[in-house]
């Protein structure tokens, strides 16, 4: 069968769902900004009551610029410089460790993962996620095209070495298990969609789980997080304080919520109310109905990403989409699960809703790549069918490369 790549309008529903989530996050941040600034001003500061809302607006503008940049930058350039991008991201990620004792590095809650520039901070690990997704997409796509994906020495060993280096920097040195979980989600999705044989996939999965367990038991900070998860209900004023306050906020929201700006948890009760705990704040303000609607929007966004991945114009696009999906999906599930007491607290932000800059910047940059990929779809034509004839869409395939789906509209480009 002949294969054609069709170029058409991008999937604007991705942009729509992203915008709705960003708007909800902005409104919630605006509603709790007075509470957050009041807590800070008690220490002698004189911040405007809308300080956090203004900063979030700046972060969103910068994020939208990143989205626009990656949406128009040719994907071939990202692939061409994928190795240099990964090396640069790894070197920058070493800064919080090498300069840990200086004022340049900010450490909180046992984790040193921020570079402090005074007016703002950046988290290099977020850039590393972006670079890792691009590098692995190119690496795995090359292995697929040359039929070397399931060669242990040519695929699994190099990928294992890269992951070991990343894990040592992010989880070992920076004590950032939450980011390690995000890398785990990215890797699992990309290897599966690339078409790695099940036995190798299971071995890789077991290896990642063993590595995660070793990193956990060798760190007092991470053991405390696990202990809090298991015994948090027995120490409501100590290690279990945040999760218990989060559950109180979620429960007190009821069916319809207390209303925007009417909650009390942001006034000094719930730690990291604008960041890690934003889901609990949303639940308190908007109630069960509100969080269900937000979860539906997230689900619709994920379905659009999966659809783009199914109909992607090449193996590289498909694997890249898998990494983007795994990144955003892992962040969402881990954050919400932690607030509900299903997972240990890890410091992972909730995409588009949490206050902050670096995570939002690179997630929106990743969605810009997805938006660009959605412009190209692959379609199979029977050998006896002309490219000018209306093709029949084959939608029976699976999401793995060995059985991918094909679809399309408008103009053709021969592969």
Q: How much is the average pLDDT of 310-322?
A: 91
Q: Does 407 have pLDDT greater than 50?
A: no
Cα 191 to Cα 188: distance, rounded to the nearest angstrom: 5
- For position 230, what pLDDT does the model report? 57
CB atoms within 10 A of CB 50: 15
pLDDT one-digit tens code per residue, 371-400: 999 988 766 655 555 444 444 444 334 456
- For position 320, what pLDDT does the model report? 96
Answer for the pair 51, 39: CB distance below 8 angstroms, yes or no.
Answer: no
Using 50, 70 and 90 to split pLDDT, how confident is the model at 189?
A: very high
- For position 392, what pLDDT does the model report? 40
Phi–psi pair at 391, nearest 5 degrees: -80, 160
Q: Does 287 have pLDDT greater than 60?
A: yes
Q: Tell me how far CA of residue 368 lies from CA of 66, 73, 229, in angstroms.
A: 7, 9, 35
Q: Does 408 have pLDDT greater than 50?
A: no
Collapsed DSSP state (helix, strand, coil) of residue 158: helix
Q: How far is CA 125 from the centre of its chain?
A: 12
Query: Terminal CA-to-CA distance of the chain, rounded, Å?
Result: 12
- For position 143, what pLDDT does the model report? 92
Answer for the pair 405, 30: CB distance below 8 angstroms, yes or no.
Answer: no
pLDDT one-digit tens code per residue, 248-273: 888 888 898 888 878 777 776 777 77
pLDDT one-digit tens code per residue, 341-381: 887 777 788 999 988 788 899 999 999 999 999 988 766 65
- For position 164, what pLDDT does the model report? 84
pLDDT one-digit tens code per residue, 240-249: 777 888 888 8
Q: What DSSP assignment string belongs to 177-219?
A: HHHHHHHHHHHHHHHHHHT--HHHHHHHHHHHHHHHHHHHHT-
Q: How much is the average pLDDT of 299-313?
A: 93
Higher-scoring residue by pLDDT: 104, 258: 258
Phi-psi region of 334 (alpha: psi -120 to 50; beta: other; left: phi over 0): alpha
Q: How much is the average pLDDT of 317-332?
A: 95
Residue 171's nearest CA partner among 347, 36, 331 is 347
pLDDT one-digit tens code per residue, 64-89: 999 999 999 999 999 999 999 999 99
pLDDT one-digit tens code per residue, 130-179: 999 999 999 999 999 988 888 888 888 888 888 888 888 887 777 777 78
Answer for the pair 245, 269: CB distance below 8 angstroms, yes or no.
Answer: yes
- For position 340, what pLDDT does the model report? 87
Q: How much is the average pLDDT of 176-184?
A: 82
pLDDT one-digit tens code per residue, 11-47: 999 999 999 999 999 999 988 888 888 777 665 667 7
Q: Does 304 have pLDDT greater than 90?
A: yes
- For position 313, what pLDDT does the model report? 80
Cα 75 to Cα 90: distance, rounded to the nearest angstrom: 21
Average model confidence (pLDDT) for the chain? Answer: 81
- For position 238, what pLDDT does the model report? 57
């Amino acid at each position: 069968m002949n294969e054609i790549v069709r170029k058409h309008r991008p999937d604007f529903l991705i942009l729509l769902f992203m915008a709705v989530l960003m708007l909800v996050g902005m409104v919630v941040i605006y509603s709790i900004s007075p509470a957050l600034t009041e807590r800070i001003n008690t220490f002698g500061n004189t911040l405007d009551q809308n300080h956090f809302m203004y900063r979030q607006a700046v972060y969103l503008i910068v994020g939208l610029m990143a989205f626009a940049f990656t949406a128009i930058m040719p994907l071939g350039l990202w692939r061409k410089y994928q190795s240099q991008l990964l090396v640069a991201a790894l070197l920058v990620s070493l800064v919080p460790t090498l300069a840990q004792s200086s004022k340049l590095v900010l450490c909180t809650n046992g984790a040193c993962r921020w570079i402090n520039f005074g007016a703002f901070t950046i988290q290099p690990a977020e850039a590393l996620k972006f670079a890792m997704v691009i590098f692995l997409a190119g690496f795995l796509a090359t292995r697929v095209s040359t039929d070397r994906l399931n060669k242990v020495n040519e695929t699994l060993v190099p990928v294992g070495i890269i992951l070991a280096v990343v894990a040592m920097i992010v989880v070992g040195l920076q004590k950032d298990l939450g980011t390690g979980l995000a890398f785990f989600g990215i890797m699992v999705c990309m290897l599966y969609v690339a078409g790695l044989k099940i036995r190798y996939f299971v071995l890789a999965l077991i290896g990642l789980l063993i590595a995660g367990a070793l990193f956990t038991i060798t760190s007092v900070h991470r053991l405390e997080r696990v202990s809090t998860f298991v015994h948090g209900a027995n120490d409501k004023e100590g290690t279990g304080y945040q999760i218990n306050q989060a559950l109180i906020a979620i429960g007190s929201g009821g069916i319809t919520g207390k209303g925007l700006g009417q909650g009390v948890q942001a006034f000094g009760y719930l730690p990291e109310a604008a960041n890690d705990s934003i889901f609990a704040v949303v639940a308190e303000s908007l109630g069960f109905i509100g969080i269900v609607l937000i979860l539906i929007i997230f689900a619709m966004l994920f379905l659009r990403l999966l659809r783009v991945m199914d109909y992607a114009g090449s193996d590289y696009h498909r694997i890249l989409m898998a990494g983007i999906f795994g990144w955003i999906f892992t962040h969402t599930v881990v954050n919400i699960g932690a607030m509900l007491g299903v997972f240990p607290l890890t410091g992972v932000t909730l995409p588009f809703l949490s206050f902050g800059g670096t995570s939002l910047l690179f997630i929106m940059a990743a969605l810009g790549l997805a938006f660009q990929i959605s412009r190209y779809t692959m379609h199979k034509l029977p050998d006896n069918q002309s490219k000018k004839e209306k093709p029949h869409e084959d939608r029976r395939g699976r999401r793995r490369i060995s059985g991918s789906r094909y679809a399309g509209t408008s103009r053709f480009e021969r592969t």
